[in-house]
Chain A
């Protein structure tokens, strides 16, 4: 099924418990089973990543490039709208009314690193790259191409799953960096237009920006996006290779993959931010 076992294991049926009867009929049982299988797939991916035979690396780079080229343009559009509209107009309005309009640059700098840059990058990653990857794998599964590959002797883990999961794991931070850069640039361009005639100057923007953004924030950002990209990759590959039931099955697989990735990514985001800001309170000291 997932990881090709090296030694013969216990058959799956024997591992199922006796209380199978009524518990297995509950809808939550199937969901828990699938969650467990996703976790197993994640562990198998990590194990295969560090065991030799690295012939999957060119395929992985290829997938990374495809995913990045898919995501760049949507990320650019989404983030420009978000940056100019919501951050500059809105956050800027709040900051100006509080009388600290010169702090806009710093606030936008760390704000995008902590929250909206992460969401937008990951939503684009899951919604554009992850969903098309899941659709591709699901269509191959339905057309029995995956079984044909298995018959040909191509290992499913290293041939299909590992390059895709690692590709999305790499795309996470790269796309996130791009998104945050777009956000900073768009707000930097929009600031003199939106705040014409007030105390917000480009020099003050850059000055507080440099004072606020700290390396710890950047590290948190990259680690969070790497974890989120790995999660999206595992979920999308799992849902793709386990899809069944014809055309509607593929559609439903993509739907569930996107929904589970969104949910998981938000949980990762909240956990990371709460822990990070509590453990390193020095990052939120107002400087400049």
Chain B
């Protein structure tokens, strides 16, 4: 972390007035403040974004075409992992018929959002940093400014709105992928239960609140990831090495924050009352 942090953080573009470089904790705090300022600036610049509607739709189309399949595949994996754990844990208690109960509770509440966050930060987030960072290195962002186009509206704002269009589609795909993956692992692979029994418990143990929470959870993660990635791409400097380290740095922040955001929503929705359909 140290080498990335020191090359990234000290460089503000102008010569340093103070000879002493900020320490690691201090520079992390400065970075967090920069990120918050960037987010506010982006939201302020969003009001001029609707005039670039075609670009918004193009960004959304890129996301739908490029990321739907990988999100589906990876969420299928976590469904399979959940069934593997649940089946062998419950079988030892003689309750392997209730495998569907475990997946029904765990998939929309925790597993799908976490996996969604991983895939979104790896596929979409890194891609955005690489793209915007390369634009910055090749002076394309400055060219936008010279042309009179606000890059915050045109480059960052359109991507944010494109992601906003993509989020409901992506979360629906992710939830479906989780269901299909867990069904696949439970019935044809492990022969845990009958398909009817699995689906009965799977659907009867989740309700609208759980799925609403999944949408909110994944949506807030995706917005955070897009903002962070645009931030690190936007401030990339120092040639190809700078873009590479910006991608690595954004991934660090994203992966840690995925866990924090998922935990936050779980506490918000189920902290006091787990709202489980067991035992009345």
| A-chain residues with CB within 8 Å of residue B129 when the two chains form the complex | 251
- Taking the complex as formed, is B151 at the interface, i.e. its CB lies under 8 A from any CB of chain A? no
Report whether A250 and B279 are in contact in the complex, using a CB–CB cutoff of 8 Å: no
- By a CB distance below 8 angstroms, the chain A residues around B251 are 127-128, 131, 258
Contact B270 A77 (CB under 8 A): no
Q: Which residues of B contact A89 (CB under 8 A)?
A: 266-267, 270-271, 274
Contact of B85 among A93, A115, A248, A251 (CB under 8 A): A115
B249 — nearest CB in chain A belongs to which residue? Answer: A132
Binding site for A on B (CB under 8 A): 1-2, 4, 70, 73-74, 77-78, 80-82, 84-85, 88-89, 91-93, 105-106, 109-110, 114, 118-119, 121-123, 126-127, 129-131, 133-134, 137-138, 185, 189-190, 239-248, 251-252, 254-256, 258-260, 262-264, 266-267, 270-271, 274, 276, 278-279
Q: Pick the contact of B266 from A90, A99, A246 — CB < 8 Å?
A: A90
Q: What are 24 of the A-B contact pairs (CB < 8 Å)?
A: A77-B259, A79-B259, A81-B259, A81-B263, A82-B259, A85-B259, A86-B263, A86-B266, A90-B274, A110-B89, A115-B85, A127-B255, A135-B248, A138-B240, A139-B241, A143-B239, A251-B129, A251-B131, A251-B133, A252-B130, A254-B248, A259-B123, A266-B74, A266-B77
**CB <8 Å contact, B276 and A258:** no
Question: A262–B119 Cα gap in the complex (Å)?
Answer: 8
In A234-288, the 8 Å CB interface with B consists of 246-255, 258-259, 262-263, 266-267, 269-270, 273-274, 277, 281, 284-286
Q: Could you tell me if A135 and B247 are in contact, using CB atoms closer than 8 angstroms?
A: yes
* Residues in chain A near residue B278, CB distance under 8 A: 94, 97-98
C-alpha spacing A138/B271, complex, angstroms = 45
Q: What total of chain A residues lie within 8 Å of the partner, measured CB to CB?
A: 63
A69-B2, A127-B252, A135-B248 as given contacts; A142 in contact with B266, CB under 8 Å: no
Chain B residues with CB below 8 A from A45, complex form: none
